Amino acid sequence: MKTIGIMGGMGPMATVDLMKKIILATPAKNDQEHIPMLVDNNSQVPDRTKAIMGLGASPAPEMVKSAKRLMMAGADFIIIACNTAHYFLPEILPQISIPVLSIIDVATASIKEKGFKSVGLLATSGTVRTGLYQKTLEANGIECIMPVAEKQHLIDDMIYDGVKAMNEDYDTTAVRELLAEMQAQGAEAFILGCTEVPVAVSMYGLEGTFIDSTDELAKAAVKFAKAEISDGTMIA
């Protein structure tokens, strides 16, 4: 089996969620049948959304440090416990010699396989601004519905003031109303396009038809570690 390298800390709870989902996705009968994981929980990576918005330092230097530590420690490939961070991969990939499995690609592949034609995107403002999901979904014939501009902050606030702040009592009333609005606009399902959003769904009991990007990445990582896939989802 290949060893999975997890570039984590963005945020820490999302990293743990990804690890748990890898374990749950592994068909193992004992400890030895589980897949080796190396985790770099680098909580010092600057905020990705702030960097994209021009309000903070680039996360790329710290991401490179994480990637190199994982590579030197023996990881055979890397997965990243953050959707927004994928925007900075062009700066990271030339500096490492192992592949990275894209959360954007595997989530989109799952949406296509499930037959959804229109999905709502629940992600950070940074991910929305980059167009990472919009471009990939549209290239696969899938409509991407986003929150109206004046309500995007509701998702950001839930991520930052709710999950990242470990606020279990965060009020998600406005988020629930937003999901209903996006459904009315034609969203057949929602892609959880930030690794904190699946945590929020569990923490706050949000309801809907969800495509969990973290879970899709976990399942794809298990298959790749077992050499069961080679379907073009890798970023070379």
What are φ and ψ of residue 17, in 5° steps? -60, -40
- 152 SS3 class: helix
Query: What is the spatial distance between Cα 141 and Cα 104, in angstroms, rounded to a whole number?
Result: 15
Q: How far is it between the farthest Cα atoms of the chain?
A: 50
Write out the H or E segment, with its range, that includes residue 199: helix 197-204
Order the strands of the 118-122 sheet from edge to edge. 143-145, 118-122, 189-192, 210-212
State the catalytic residues: 82, 194
Q: CA 170 to CA 158: how far, in whole Å?
A: 7
Query: Is the Cβ–Cβ distance between 83 and 213 less than 8 Å?
Result: yes
For residue 185, the tally of other CB atoms under 10 A from its CB is 14
- Sheet (strand 4-8) strand order: 37-41, 4-8, 77-80, 100-101, 234-235
Could you identify the residue written with the tokens 């960097």? 51
